[in-house]
Structures are given as C-alpha cells and as structure tokens.
Amino acid sequence: MTSQPPPPPQPGAQAVPTCYRHPDRETYVRCQRCERPICPDCMREAAVGHQCPECVRDGSREVRQAQATFGGAAVATPRVTWTLLILNVLAYGAEVLRPNEVVQQFAMWSLGVHMGEWWRLITSAFLHSPPPSFWHILFNMWALYALGPELERRLGSGRFAALYLLSALGGSVAVYLFGTSAVGASTAIYGLFGALFVVARRLGYDARGVLWLIGINVVLTFVVPGISWQGHLGGLVTGTIIAAGFAYAPRRNRTLVQAGVAAAVLVALVLLVTMLPPYGLLEGAFT
C-alpha cells in the first residue's frame, strides 16, 4: 500500500511553530514573558500561563531573597540549635559510658590549656556534670531549646553559630584566666542571655523580663556552690559584645561589619590565652 507525500505548503501559508529549545516539536503555546514557543517539557507554571526556563531563572534573580532580621538567609527551621542540642546529648552519652576518660581529656582545665591542650576551650562547652547529676544538662538544654530558635531566626544560622561558639570560648577563656576547671554549656547559654537582651533592646521590645532572667541567674551563680562564675560571666560578656556588633551593625556593609566584630573578638580571646598566664592557678599556688 502506498501513500501520497504531503503537498508542499502553499505560497503565503504560515509555518507550524516549534519549540525554541526543541525544534523538532510542534507547539502553539508561548512563554508569557518572552512569547517564544515552548513545548510541554519546557513549560514552567507561572502566576498566569506558562513561562520558559530562561524567564523563570531570570525572574528568580530579580526576586529579593528573604533575610533574617539582622542579615543572612531567613531561617525556617533552626537547624543550628537542633545540631547543638544533639551534640550536647551525644557528648553526655559519651560521659555516661566513660565518665572519667571523657572529662579528663576534654573538660576545661587551665593548666592543660596553658600546656597546649587548646581543644579544651571548646570541648568543655559540650560536657556537663556526669551522672548521677542530671540537672546540669537538663537546665542548659532547656535554655538552649527556649532561646536558641528565636535568636537563630533573628540573627540567621551562621551568625547564631558564631554567637554560641564565641560565647563558649569567652567563658572558657575567663576560666583559664581566673579559675581552674569547669564543664558545661552554661558559658554559651549565658552568652545567649546577653544576646537576647541586646536583640530585645534593638527591636524596641520591653527588655525588663530579660534583665530579671539575667539577674536571677547571676545571683544563682554566686549562691549555688560548685558553679563557675568565671565561665558564666565570661560567656555573658562575650555574648553581649557579639550580639551588639551583629544587631547594631549599619545596614550598609552589614555583613562586613558583623564579620569584623566576630573576628576581632576571636583574635582578642586567642591573644588573652597566648599572652597571659592562668592567674587562678598562680593565686592558688601562693595561698
């Protein structure tokens, strides 16, 4: 069986449109922005009709990305807060399995840091009083759960992580200078207390409740035995300074100023440890 070939197009007849990305596909649908013909594989849903991939990509560049209050990408899920919670719980699990070994190797110990064991300045902030004491980790994790998500959404995940870690480091440096040993995330938690006060003031909220919270915890620091006042106050001061630098940075060049503040605090803390001796140990040696 034979068939006749299709007749040639008549003079003046309009050619069938084809997709601009797939010339072998006929289509009568056009992009709503550039009006180029697009096949089903190239159609992208738009508010009205369809758009081609290039127009969708160009439109995404023009849309301003949502930001956190003080810069950085908007935070829908406080992933840094949850990560810190998990790390603290895992570290406590290691303490349960091998309490003496973990505490001896990773707790804050001024003499050990002075002899070059720098990791103690950070690892100590993820340890807590080993069992049978549970109130230490429970209080700190409750505080992190209560304060962390709000601060992370305001500051952005990267800035919140810097705030937490630098506050922990600041508390450990204070222990190094004026104490002997300590464990606990309280150094970082007190930094979050200071940051919450700064953020509340910057946004025009009533900060009296935060002041009461800080005041009560500072009093408990000196009343309850066995608490490192050096770590608490060191974390509080460091967190307040970092948060002030983040919250009050000018909108123009905000990221540069915030990075500069964090870097300056980090350098200052490192210099304190490298250039000064542990006065707490020296005082104990002469008393």
Which residues participate in catalysis according to the annotation? 186, 232
Give the dihedral sign, CA 13/19/25/26: negative
Closest CA to 185 of 141, 229, 222: 141
Place of tokens 């303490």: 95
Amino acid at 189: I
| 59: Cα separation from own chain's centroid | 29
Give the contacts of 94 (CB within 8 A, at least 6 positions apart).
102
Residues in CB range of 155: below 8 A, 6 or more apart: 68, 69, 70, 71, 72, 163, 195, 199, 243, 246
Residue 268 identity: A
Query: For 78-159, where are the E strands, in sequence order?
Result: 108-109
Residue 189 Cα distances to 23, 162, 168, 170, angstroms:
62, 13, 8, 12
